Structure 1
Amino acid sequence: MDSRRGEVEDFPNEADSAATPSTVELPWTTVEHYLGRGLGASYRLSAVDEPLVSYEIAAAGRGIALHVELTGRHHAPSSPLAAVRIDRVLHGGRRLARVTTSEPELLRDFHDLLLAVADRIVVDGQGLARAFDETVHGWSALLGRPRGLSRERRLGLHGELAVLARTAGTIGWQAALDTWVGPTGEEHDFALESADLEVKTTASERRRHTIHGLGQLTETTGRPLWFASLRLTRGGAGGRTLADSVKAVRDAAAAENIALGRRLDGLLNAVGWDAEQPDDERWTPRDSPLLIRATGMPRLTAEDLPEGAVERIDTVNYVVDVTGLSSDGQPPPLDLSDLPLP
């Protein structure tokens, strides 16, 4: 166990010796190292003779923030983004604007946003309000264009590959690939021999998962449906990227049969995996997955709606919290205890 967990450390401070930095740089891998170890850290981005601009990592992995000193009559601007908050704090006799996010699963993208804002302040000499406004507007043209898989889907694929690898360890890769039916458009992720299995993965403290549609937690006639809740946390240097997991399962499948590796490639393409996507987030399991029968958890199905309502409702998405639920002793169709990422 790291004896320094929860302490505050300082990053190496290039800004102290850089009078006119050409760009603001702070690799995500460095930030993730501190997040994964639960250590707080502070990195000054501005020169020592300039108003303070610093990148902050809260202890215990509570998140990241940008601190910008407010000089003269400057005030903290308001944020037009629901996931980004800008408030004012006092620290060391300085008035600071603090930029934070309420979405822990978006820390990687928020990190890029903070550096883009800081670069406009430190390098271009802009005030926080203008730097933040230009960054948001500069990114707005890109927001409508897909950046590969969404964060939710990337975490979900991590979990499905972990379950796929565990299944293959039991029945072999050819049979395991037969069970992974989610990529082919089936309602549930896995069709095991005796049951169906829906897999959801989250990076939140609680087991909160988004359910898409009325059929995702509906049992097929004659087949029990089980729900697997996986929780991941930042893994730092010892964690696994999604690319690591993809390579591990593909190598394992191809080792059994080269054709199986090609078949797995097709399934990965079907779910939108692209090896060229940015991929520097490292994850590790927080604990063993929770496995419960879908009938024993909060859910919405077509049978729960009044007669005729299904034909008039186009889309149903909702978030369910299964924290603390149990399977009531029913034997699951697959042992997922101590499930590692591939």
Structure 2
Amino acid sequence: MTGNSDAWQTRLRAHWSVLKARRTPDGVATSGLGLSVGDNAEVLVGVDAHGDHHLLIPTNLRSTPVEDYQAAYIRIQRCTLVVDGRSRIFTDVVCHRPDLSELFDDILAAMLAELATDTGRPPDTVCKQVLDEWRELLRRRGGLLGDDALRGLFGELIVLEKILTANPENGLSAWRGPNREPHDFRLDNGNLEVKTLGANGSTVRIHGIGQLEPPTSGNLHLIVVRLTAASDGLALPDLVDRLQSKVADRRAFAVALARCGYSQTDADHYRDRRFTVAQITALPIDDAFPRVVPSSLSGELPKEVSALSYSLDLSVLLPLATLADHTLMPLFVKGSLS
């Protein structure tokens, strides 16, 4: 098999389901992946008695161990297993948290894709470097998300889901918010800026004089997502999981989330905050829309003024906005924003 991560993910899932049924109270149930490394030894996957998933890389006893114990839930360690009646040494990449199984599959698929194409580096070194790359992109930046940031990300992901529904292959590339661009989404014929409100709020925060400035070619719509707190609603990790199956590039999605300050390893911290989407509205940004943009200034901002932001009351505008979700859908379809 080639170095295609998606193909490896599919193969891994098929193996886990078979191995789960074969596991015993002792040892590790294993099967081969059809990929050989080193001295033509086959890479294995395994499931142990606890249900933990393992990627087993055949290792030379004389080589220096490459191990990683930085995280309690995903580790790289050297182990000895009896396979087909013979004691063998492996570099063992193991996940001890079932709730991270999808993330672990992403990491293993990236490792296998590298192993399938990179014959120059020792296989255990390849696995360690891939894990380091994932750890860096998943490392939370600035701590856990606060309430406003959590709701803001939730709103953006709701809109992203609609774009992915209309354009599964390239929808993720339209999401520009993680890159700190002026607008959250950039589509063929215009851009979208997303703001999230609570059940009764009507005021949003505008960051910078360019946030409500339409692009050079195309229009700009302000998309307002209204959320209601609900114990039976959707938590941010649930929404992330739902999108994982819809994005074409799961690693790029993980990178984007990390840039927004979200780490899958912190998912449990967000599970008690649940929402339902009460309403999604669209406001076209035109010359009559109340805003601060460069053209509304008598001159340039003084160089001493930076990070300008202001509050915008939408209480009068929201009742006039497009309310029906099916009416909004054309905004998200490639080439139809007008």
Question: What TM-score do the two structures reach when normalised by structure 2?
Answer: 0.50
Instruction: Specify which structure has the higher proportion of strand.
Output: 2
Question: What TM-score do the two structures reach when normalised by structure 1?
Answer: 0.49
